[in-house]
């Protein structure tokens, strides 16, 4: 069966991924409305080829050309409804830019997402990864999402219980990976928000500005300031944000580590375990600021791997494995990659 007229062939993906890796897609289609995606599914072209759904390309590392079809979801739209005295539901199309959506909510006085300001990517990607920062995760404000079955074209609604959320995990990274296209996400936000400033960096930033009773806009601005000071702008320096997850260990192991490394950076969890700061572990192994060719570890944040210009994805991945191995050799801790390697 013939492919749809929207499909382009042999398209460079360099501008579609924040690592700026110059891989090529055999086929590429930008989907702006349901009709386009429906036609693609009905043509069966999608299911006859390997396929990859692409949002803002902020959590991907291409190590090879993609010998299949890349589908970029670009639908737009934001609406709010079902307000109560305390909450409002806000629905955003998957193709909306994440930070711009957070800024929209902050400007409207809708609280809950402000700690997630300036995270790169699009709305549709955020529930897949259950993105989080500064003490807040998507699941904390998530209400539901609409996703399209890539075999049948059926639009299905998923609530939080259906998504199997975990640390940087959802069912869309597990058993449903590659089977659905997220089309919209709805959040339940607060009209009388209580801000979360327990994270030390936010607290210090607000104190430095002399803000004693912060609102959600103050928190959002503080988060943006912190992120800009520590993390490279992907528009300027290729990266995918945090490359590794913060590992979780049991209390006994954490205490044993502290005996040898008294300055160990960790955070207690409600289940009695502890989360270790992967960036600290990597920095102690001497990787912070490391560069080999155009692949490197960021000079201000060891959790971030960077492309200084023309690094290949395979070079970034090789560096990632070297980091993983060195952390395990020194601390006995296995780091896990947060970025999806293609």
Lowest mean pLDDT among 33-37, 273-277, 305-309: 33-37
Cβ–Cβ contacts within 10 Å for residue 175, how many?
A: 8
What pLDDT is recorded for position 131?
85
Spell out where the chain has E strands. Answer: 8-12, 24-31, 51-54, 60-61, 66-73, 78-81, 87-93, 132-133, 136-137, 142-149, 155-159, 180-190, 238-239, 248-249, 266-268, 274-276, 291-292, 295-297, 305-307, 340-341
- Structure confidence by residue, pLDDT tens digits, 151-166: 888 999 999 999 998 8
**CA 269/CA 249 separation, integer angstroms:** 10
Q: Express each pLDDT in 105-146 by its tens digit.
A: 999 999 999 999 998 889 998 998 898 888 888 999 999 999
CA angle 181, 155, 88 (to 5 degrees): 90
- Flag whether pLDDT at 197 surpasses 90: no
Q: Name the average pLDDT for the chain.
A: 90
Indicate the length of the chain as a whole number.
342
> Do the domains at 78-190 and 238-341 have one common CATH topology?
no
Determine whether 161 is exposed, middle or buried from the number of CB atoms within 10 Å of its CB (0-12, 13-18, 19+). exposed
**Rounded mean pLDDT, 296-324:** 95
Q: What is the pTM of this model?
A: 0.83
Edge-first strand listing for the sheet containing 274-276:
248-249, 274-276, 266-268
Just give the CATH number of 78-190. Answer: 3.30.465.10
The full set of domain ranges for the chain reads 8-73, 78-190, 238-341
Residue 1 has pLDDT above 60, yes or no: no
Tell me the pLDDT tens digit for each residue of 228-285: 888 888 888 999 888 999 999 999 999 999 999 999 998 888 888 889 999 999 999 9
Asked if pLDDT for residue 54 goes beyond 90, the answer is: no
Q: In this structure, what are the phi and psi dihedrals at residue 22, rounded to the nearest 5 degrees?
A: -90, 70
Assign 185 a pLDDT band (cuts: 50, 70, 90).
very high
On the question of pLDDT at 316 being above 50, the answer is yes
Cβ atoms of residues 303 and 278 within 8 Å: yes
The CA radius of gyration of the chain, in Å to the nearest whole number, is 21
* Domain over 8-73 is classified CATH 3.30.70.1150: no
CB–CB of 246/276 below 8 Å?
yes
Q: Are strands 295-297 and 274-276 parallel, antiparallel or unpaired?
A: unpaired
Residues noted as catalytic: 168, 242, 338
Query: Given a cut of 70, is residue 297 above it in pLDDT?
Result: yes
Q: Is the pLDDT of residue 5 over 60?
A: no
Task: Return the pLDDT at 198.
Answer: 77
**Four-way CATH pick for 238-341: 3.90.850.10, 3.90.78.10, 3.30.70.260, 3.30.70.660:** 3.90.78.10
Q: Which residues pair with 24 in a beta bridge?
A: 12
């Amino acid at each position: 069966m013939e492919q749809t007229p929207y499909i382009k062939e042999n398209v460079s993906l360099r501008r579609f991924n924040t690592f700026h890796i110059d891989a090529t897609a055999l086929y590429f289609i930008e989907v702006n409305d349901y009709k386009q995606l429906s036609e693609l599914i009905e043509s069966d072209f999608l299911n006859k080829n390997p396929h990859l759904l692409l949002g803002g390309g902020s959590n991907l590392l291409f190590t090879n050309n993609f010998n299949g079809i890349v589908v970029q979801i670009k639908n737009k739209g934001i609406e709010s409804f079902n307000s109560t005295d305390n909450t409002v539901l806000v629905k955003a199309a998957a193709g909306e830019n994440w930070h711009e959506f957070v800024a929209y909510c902050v400007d409207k006085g809708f609280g809950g997402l402000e700690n997630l300001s300036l995270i790169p990517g699009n709305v549709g990607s955020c529930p897949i990864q259950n993105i989080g920062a500064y003490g807040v995760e998507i699941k904390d404000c998530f209400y539901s999402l609409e996703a399209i079955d890539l075999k049948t074209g059926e639009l299905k609604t998923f609530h939080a219980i259906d998504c199997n959320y975990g640390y940087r995990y959802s069912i869309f990274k597990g058993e449903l990976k590659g089977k659905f296209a997220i089309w919209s996400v709805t959040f339940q936000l607060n009209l009388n928000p209580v801000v979360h400033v327990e994270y030390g960096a936010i607290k210090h930033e607000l104190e430095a500005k002399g803000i004693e009773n912060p609102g959600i806009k103050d928190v959002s601005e503080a988060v943006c300031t912190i992120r800009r000071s520590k993390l490279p702008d992907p528009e300027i320096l290729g990266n995918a944000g945090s490359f590794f997850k913060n590992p979780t260990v049991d209390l006994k192991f954490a205490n044993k580590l502290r005996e040898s490394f008294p300055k160990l950076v960790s955070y207690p969890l409600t289940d009695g375990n502890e989360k270790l700061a992967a960036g600290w572990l990597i920095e102690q192994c001497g990787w912070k600021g490391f560069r080999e060719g155009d692949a490197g570890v960021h000079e201000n944040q060891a959790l971030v791997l960077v492309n200084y210009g023309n690094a290949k994805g395979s070079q970034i991945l090789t560096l990632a494995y070297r980091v993983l191995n060195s952390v395990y050799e020194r601390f006995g801790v296995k780091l896990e990659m947060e970025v999806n390697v293609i």
